[in-house]
Amino acid sequence: MTRKPALTAEEEDAWAQLFVIAQCLPAVVDQQLRSDAGLGHYEHAVLHALYRAEGSTLAMAELSTLTAGSFSRLSHSVTRLEDRELVSRDRRGANRYVSLTRAGRMAFLDAASGHMDQIRRTVLDLIDPADVATLGDLLRPIAAGLRDRLPRG
């Protein structure tokens, strides 16, 4: 087996910064959403995906891809949201679908202001506005590659 060269100092620094963001950002966002809206960040991601979907309904498989979660995580989250009457579930043939309820739409919209403030405080306000598009361009292929490798079980 051929040994790959070590990371350069620049590559190590980039990886270290990304690692800190990957570890800290979900916890910071989760804390704000739980405090303000009683939702975890993944539950909020489910509501967000449904809010943006045509007819506020998505197949579980598509919802799993959009939220970058396993089927198991999604199923547990949807059950919690369904218990709170924020979503409903139904089966159409072999497919299962999740729909945003009126209460779910209101919960999502009620959480939006605080969540957007948190996004600005923790990310966007810390970089030059001219760099926001560049940040998206840099992160997009990483996000796509990670989604493709995510276990679905």
- Which CATH number is 21-149 given? 1.10.10.10
Residue 80 has pLDDT above 70, yes or no: yes
Per-residue pLDDT tens digits for 105-142:
999 999 999 999 999 999 999 999 999 999 999 999 99
> Which pLDDT score, from 0 to 100, does residue 133 have?
96
Inter-residue contact 115 to 44 (CB < 8 Å): yes
> Which pLDDT score, from 0 to 100, does residue 153 have?
60
Residue 152 has pLDDT above 80, yes or no: no
> What stretches of the chain adopt beta strand conformation (E)?
57-59, 87-92, 95-100
The pairing of beta strand 95-100 with beta strand 87-92: antiparallel
> Which pLDDT score, from 0 to 100, does residue 147 have?
81
What is the rounded CA–CA span in Å between residue 138 and residue 12?
17
Inter-residue contact 66 to 73 (CB < 8 Å): no
Residue 99 has pLDDT above 90, yes or no: yes
Residues in the chain: 153
